[in-house]
Homo-oligomer: A and B are copies of this chain.
Amino acid sequence: MPLTPAQIAEIEAQREARSETRRPTVPALEALLFQAIPCLDHGFLRVVDYMGDDGAIVQAARVSYGRGTRRVSEDAGLIRYLMRHRHSTPFEMCEIKFHVKLPIFVARQWIRHRMANVNEYSARYSVLDREFYIPAPEHLAAQSASNRQGRGATLAGEEAADVLAILKQDAGRCHDDYEILLNEGPDGARRDPAREGLARELARINLTLNTYTQWYWKTDLHNLLHFCALRADPHAQYEIRVYAEEILKIVGAWVPAAHGAFEEYRLGAFTFSKTMLELLRRRLRGETVEQAESGLSKREWAEFEAALGAF
């Protein structure tokens, strides 16, 4: 995450400034504000603004005139109740805004979350830096044999070295050629005075999908938690999971009661299907059931067993 000295200075200047406000504030989140949290080899995540706190959830749920809060324990209880019954609208009353630097292939997954506001750095308008994501050796995974959409064992030895060499070489050459296509010198003048230079919006098509982009991304707490539920999940691609896990930590600092309820009723929970519930009842009555006659697929059976723990 090589921020330039100018960028670091801008961030520091933002962190220095303080104002007085009548709005609810969250000291634990203020402490994180504007700081770049590293993600992957060149990416980051920065909270740049937020609205609301745990109190804003109960305030909206109660449609109250003041802060709406009573005792902390009562508020936490209400938040747990709302989360459990999927009363999602009070969670929409908190809003957060991030500045994110991320590889384009991660951005393509992220943008599928439609209930958010986005402003992306425009490569029609500006030139992209020479930065691309190269996996760390421990994340160079083979294709999973059992799951068409997953990763298998980590590559090793010569194959790993070859893979890294190819990724670096291709991304690097494509970016070198991007600069040749653009024909822009550091001062904006032509590098080669004999050539016009290709339009930025066309030159960028030569870049590889691991090139970094960046954007401002803003969403409400309900949609943020939904993002985390899908993207911090073990089935999500590792490269987006890194961001989702950092976001979850930020949620813990921002709205600890909502975060606790989310862990209890979503992350740590498990949904038993109708068939699973029947099997469970039979088991509790002492019956023995085998997968073959269970009505569950092998994969469902494995998840069922895992949920019951050690059985």
- Interface flag for A23 (CB, 8 Å): yes
- Bound CA span A308–B279, Å: 10
Q: A143-B197, A204-B209 are in contact. List 17 more A-B contacts (CB 8 A).
A: A17-B22, A18-B22, A20-B25, A23-B25, A63-B216, A65-B99, A108-B108, A133-B205, A141-B198, A166-B181, A167-B205, A171-B206, A205-B210, A270-B272, A270-B277, A277-B309, A280-B308
29 sampled A-B residue pairs with Cβ under 8 A: A3-B65, A7-B65, A13-B66, A14-B66, A18-B22, A19-B20, A22-B33, A63-B216, A89-B112, A105-B204, A124-B149, A152-B199, A155-B198, A163-B198, A166-B177, A170-B170, A170-B173, A170-B206, A173-B173, A205-B208, A218-B220, A263-B274, A264-B275, A265-B273, A269-B271, A269-B272, A270-B272, A271-B271, A284-B311
Residues of B within 8 A of A135 (CB): 202
Whether the Cβ atoms of A149 and B122 lie closer than 8 Å is yes
- Bound CA span A173–B208, Å: 11
The 8 Å CB contact of A206, one of B167, B197, B206, is B167
- Interface flag for A111 (CB, 8 Å): yes
- Interface flag for A159 (CB, 8 Å): yes
Interface residues in A18-37 by Cβ distance below 8 A to B read 18-25, 30, 33-34
Give, as a whole number of angstroms, the nearest-CB distance from A234 to chain B.
Answer: 12
- Which residue of chain B has its CB nearest to the CB of A154? B196
Residues of B within 8 A of A182 (CB): 143
- Which residue of chain B has its CB nearest to the CB of A48? B59
Interface string of A277-311 (1 = CB under 8 A from B): 10011011000000000000000100000011111
